[in-house]
């Protein structure tokens, strides 16, 4: 079996982490080898970086992105690439698109520079499919109480992030699957199972 790299993207409160976990359980019940991971924090180094990124004092946008990139490089080499080499399905909660949306559209950093740095960190490996959970930031932020630095950003920041995600999806319709994250949890899970079944058939006819 060929490995599959599937990412889950979306703004705060979109429910992507829950859906990734449910899909991992469903795939494992079907006998599939699944690696469920997240960014930042999918490695020991990543856990330390996650603490800096989400709970440390404010930092400049460039430093923030380079920390994400360090996490991404370690994550790729230690977790994702080995799992794909073994033919496993990798479900990753956030990937490069998060940085493009948050540090690019949200913070205003140059997308060309972000992608150039990412080329080395990701070794050019791209997701086979990206599920984008879309919902208005006003809805998503109501589900949290400003637990980390990003969630405490002003509403206008989160609106730019959402717009960034939508533009990224529009630019790569063959990779992105846009999902209405205001739907009930079970309805979304059913949709995702359908997409995964089709994807598995395409990858391993």
Residue list, annotated binding site: 10-17
Q: Which residues contribute to the annotated binding site for ATP? A: 10-17
Mode of pairing for the β-strands spanning 129-134 and 34-38: unpaired
The whole-angstrom distance between residue 16's C-alpha and the CA centroid of its chain comes to 8
8 Å CB contact between 138 and 189: no
Picking from 16, 34, 15, 13, the residue whose alpha carbon sits closest to that of residue 25 is 34
Picking from 102, 89, 83, 99, the residue whose alpha carbon sits closest to that of residue 163 is 102
Q: Output the CA torsion 82→3→18→139 (10° steps).
A: 110
- Which run of H or E residues covers position 39? none
Distance CA 139, CA 52 (A): 27
In 3-state terms, what secondary structure has residue 180? strand
Distance CA 25, CA 19 (A): 10
């Amino acid at each position: 079996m060929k490995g599959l790299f599937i990412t889950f993207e979306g703004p705060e409160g979109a429910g992507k982490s829950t859906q990734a976990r449910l899909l991992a359980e469903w795939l494992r019940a079907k006998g599939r080898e699944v690696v469920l991971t997240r960014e930042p924090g999918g490695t020991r180094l990543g856990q330390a970086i996650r603490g800096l990124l989400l709970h440390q004092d404010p930092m400049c946008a460039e430093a923030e992105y380079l920390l994400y990139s360090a996490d991404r490089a370690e994550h790729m080499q230690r977790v994702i690439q080995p799992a794909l080499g073994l033919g496993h399905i990798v479900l990753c909660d956030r990937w490069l698109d998060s940085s493009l949306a948050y540090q690019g559209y949200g913070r205003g950093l140059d997308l060309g520079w972000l992608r150039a740095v990412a080329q080395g960190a990701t070794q050019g490996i791209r997701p086979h499919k990206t599920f984008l959970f879309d919902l208005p930031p006003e809805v998503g932020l109501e589900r949290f109480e400003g637990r980390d630095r990003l969630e405490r950003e002003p509403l206008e920041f989160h609106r730019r992030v959402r717009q960034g995600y939508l533009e990224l999806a529009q630019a790569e319709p063959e990779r992105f699957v846009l999902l209405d994250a205001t739907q009930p949890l079970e309805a979304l899970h059913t949709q995702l199972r359908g997409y995964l079944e089709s994807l598995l058939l395409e990858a391993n006819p």
